[in-house]
Structure 1
Amino acid sequence: MSLAYLGALVVSALGVGAIDVRWRLALFRDPRRAIGAVALTALVLLAIDLACIATGNFRLGASPWMTGFEVLPHLPIEELGFILFLSYCSLVALTGAERILGARRRAREAA
């Protein structure tokens, strides 16, 4: 049993959170809206995961980096962490891209 993969997800999420804090992109700009967006995205990704597990497309493989705890058969706890991380990272990336593109558009219009 190892917490390496789950730990890496947590450290990565903290890095994305630091970016979010610094530029106030998602959670630290509008927490209620960001939590809703992350929750909705995570639910969609979880539904896709569960459908793929049910059809046999996703199976739990052996890895020395994982904890070995399964929430459901073939659904390790790390997968839930990854889904939340992916949802939050995507939201921060999207809002960051919107801010950059908006600044470029305003600069072009001002010129």
Structure 2
Amino acid sequence: MTLLSFAYLGALLGAMAGMGLLDHRWRLALFHDARRTLVAVAASTALLLAWDVTAIVLGIFRIGASPGMTGIELGPHMPVEEPIFLVFLSYTSVVLWRLALRIPGLARPRRAQAGAEVT
């Protein structure tokens, strides 16, 4: 293995760290409601991993050769980078959804709770 073989994994981890910094700064997802964010990311990651495993079993998904990947497999045709990518994809989706809710006119207005003022 060379340094290049960790390029994709490093890029994923770096991008996830950057997303975490944005999340921290604007309190969008994990830093707004950690429990709900972790549940959403875990559930969507599990669903996407099940999708990948199904594709592998059906022979639709096969690992390709890439000098930017570690070559470490968690199982046949399941590179170690795949679950990390799926966590990043899920986390990014939650952060972007929470950001979209802050755009005026894009989010639905909240229903007023009894005795509470709508903000």
TM above 0.5, one fold?
A: yes
2: distance between equivalents of 1:104 and 1:43? 28
**Number of residue pairs matched by the alignment:** 106
Match in the other structure for 1:7: 10
The answer for the alignment partner of 2:26 in structure 1 is 23
Q: 2:74 aligns with which of 56, 71, 75?
A: 71
Letter in 2 for 1:57: I
Give 1:105 shift: 7.1
**Superposed, which structure 2 residues align to 1:36-47 within 5 Å?**
36-47=39-50
Which runs of no fewer than 5 residues in structure 2 stay unpaired?
A: 110-119
Equivalent of 1:55, from 35, 54, 58?
58
Q: Distance between the aligned counterparts of 1:37 and 1:91, measured in 2? A: 8
Q: CA RMSD in A?
A: 1.6
Q: Which residue of 1 aligns with 2:93?
A: 90
**Alpha-carbon offset, residue 98 of structure 1:** 1.2
Higher relative contact order (CA 8 A, sep 6+): 1
CA distance in 2, matches of 1:92, 1:102: 18
> 2:71–2:79: 8 Å Cα contact kept in structure 1?
yes
Bigger Cα Rg: 2
Q: 1:23 to 1:64 in 2, by over 3 A?
A: same
> What is the percentage of aligned positions where both structures have the same residue?
54
Give me the TM-score of the superposition, normalised by structure 2.
0.83
1:35 aligns with 2:42: no
Residue 109 of structure 1 is matched in structure 2 by: none
Contact 2:100 2:106 in 1 (8 A): no
Q: Is the 8 A contact 2:9 2:69 kept in 1?
A: yes
Q: Distance in 2 between matches of 1:77 and 1:104?
A: 37
